[in-house]
Amino acid sequence: MKDLLRRYKKRKKELLTLEQSLERLYDRLESVPTVSGKVEKSGDDFPYIREHISVEVPEPAEATRIKLRISEKERQRTAAQAEIDTVESYIAGLPEGLEKTILESIYLDDMTQEEVARMTGYSRSRIAQIVGSLIKD
C-alpha cells in the first residue's frame, strides 16, 4: 500500500495525460484518409454466388498503427485507474477520525502536509509521523 500511496498523485496526473492522448488519437483515427477497397460477399439469393463490391475503408497501415497506440494507451489507463481505485478504496475503508481526514486531505484533496498541519493544529512533522505509521507495510 505504501508504494501505491506514493504513486497516487503521479497516477492521477498520468491519467489526465492519457485521457488527452486518447482523445487526440481518436480524432486522428477519424481523420485517417480513406482508400477504395474490394471485398467479397455472398449473393442475396440462392445459390449464393460470390460477388465483389467496392467499399471505402480507412488507410489500413495508418489506421492499424493508430489503433495499436490506442489499445496501449487504454491498457495504461486501465492500470492507472486500478491503482487509483485501490488507494481511494483503502482510504474510504479507514475508520472515521483524524487519520482518515489526514490521508484524504493529502492524497484525495491534494493538500500538502504543511496545509494539513495548519488545518489540524499539529506540526508538519507530526502529520508526517501519522502518515508514516498508517502506510507502513
The pLDDT tens digits for 39-77 are 888 877 777 788 888 888 888 888 899 999 999 999 999
In a domain? residue 112: yes
In a domain? residue 37: no
- Match 506514493 to its residue by C-alpha cell: 6
Taking the chain (137 residues) in runs of 10, the rounded mean pLDDT of each run is: 85 95 94 83 79 83 92 96 92 87 88 91 90 78
Q: Which domain holds residue 130?
A: 95-137
88 and 114 in one domain?
no
- Whether 102 and 131 have beta carbons less than 8 Å apart is answered as yes
Instruction: Name which of 19, 14, 27 is nearest 66 in CA terms.
Output: 27
Q: Across the chain, what does the average pLDDT equal?
A: 88
131 and 67 in one domain?
no
- Match 505504501 to its residue by C-alpha cell: 2
- Whether 29 and 64 have beta carbons less than 8 Å apart is answered as no
